[in-house]
Amino acid sequence: MKVVLLGLPGSGKGTCAQLLEPKFKVISTGELLRKIPKTTLLGKKIDFIVSRGGLVPDDVIIKLIKNKVDSKNIIFDGFPRTLNQAEILDKKLKIDKAILLKINKNEIIKRISGRLQCIKCERVYHIKNNPPKKKGICDFCGGILYKRNDEEAIKKRLIVYEKNINPIINFYKKKNILFELNADKPIKIVFKDLEKLLNNKKK
Ligand code: AP5
């Protein structure tokens, strides 16, 4: 099954994707971008765009994921982000479900300001909502947890999201594969609802 996770920054796309990881290959464009060294020309260009809340050009994103769509079950986290990306993806493979994580905007800052992420495996935690067992250390790989520097860019990211999301939603609605998920509940419940949605053969 091929699934696309859509939603506001901080809606929990990465968290849901990592919980599904044993069953699905996760392709997170945000993660792939963060792995590009900032010392390279491309890395500098990407850092300039991401730190200002903009979108990395579609051709860069497509190159990044091109050779990675090689699994039976794939979750796309943070991709597509433009209608063009959705159309290109559609030409490459059949998406079974596009899931829109719905969250109250007031929650976003709380979630993003408390987020911790592993420097090695990129696993996501939250100071209050989902703390690691050992302070500052990743439960899974023992890597150091850091705070992503994205609070500054959040306003711009929200504007960019609002500008681009409707054409993507309409694209998947027309295909009859768009599903909405209330992501304003505790992580465990959101995950249960998501699993139900994925297991449901009918719409
Ligand atoms: P990306 O890394 O994809 O960021 P994003 O989509 O803005 O989303 P976030 O990662 O900030 O949030 P999330 O929804 O994954 O939530 P999370 O699970 O972390 O992209 C970063 C940038 O890269 C973009 O702005 C853009 O510049 C560029 N980029 C990426 N992809 C691109 C593309 N395709 N095209 C062009 N440019 C691209 O959760 C957040 C926090 O909340 C965590 O601490 C978590 O523990 C907590 N939490 C999660 N769920 C819950 C819950 N249910 N209850 C309580 N707390 C929760």
DSSP 8-state secondary structure symbol assigned to residue 149: S
Q: How remote is the CA of residue 112 from the centroid of ligand 1, in Å?
A: 8
Res 203: pLDDT = 47
Residue carrying structure tokens 């559609």 = 90
In the chain, where does DSSP find H-type helix?
13-20, 29-34, 41-51, 58-65, 83-92, 105-113, 154-174, 187-199
Indicate the top mutation candidate among 126, 158, 160, 195 to test ligand 1's pocket, ranked by most ligand atoms within 8 A of CB: 126
User: Is residue 50 in contact with ligand 1, taking CB distance under 6 Å?
Assistant: yes
Res 148: pLDDT = 86
Q: Which of 24, 2, 26 is nearest to 124 (CA)?
A: 26
Q: Give the sign of the dihedral formed by CA 120, CA 128, CA 98, CA 196.
A: positive
Can you spell out the DSSP letters for 26-82? Answer: EEEHHHHHHTS-TTSHHHHHHHHHHHTT----HHHHHHHHGGG--SSSEEEES---S
Residue-wise pLDDT tens for the chain (203 aa)?
Answer: 999 999 999 999 999 999 999 899 999 999 999 999 999 999 999 999 999 999 999 999 999 999 999 899 999 999 999 999 999 999 999 999 999 999 999 999 999 999 999 999 999 999 999 999 999 999 999 999 999 877 778 989 999 999 999 999 999 999 999 999 999 999 999 999 999 999 986 54
User: Is residue 29 in contact with ligand 1, taking CB distance under 6 Å?
Assistant: yes
pTM (2 d.p.): 0.95
Catalytic machinery residues: 13, 81, 115, 148, 157
User: Is residue 111 in contact with ligand 1, taking CB distance under 6 Å?
Assistant: yes
Tally Cβ neighbours within 10 Å of residue 111: 21
- Which residue's alpha carbon is at the smallest distance from atom 52 of ligand 1? 187
Res 152: pLDDT = 78
Half-sphere exposure of 111 (CA within 13 A, CB side): 21
Rounded-to-integer distance, Cα 112 and Cα 14, Å: 12
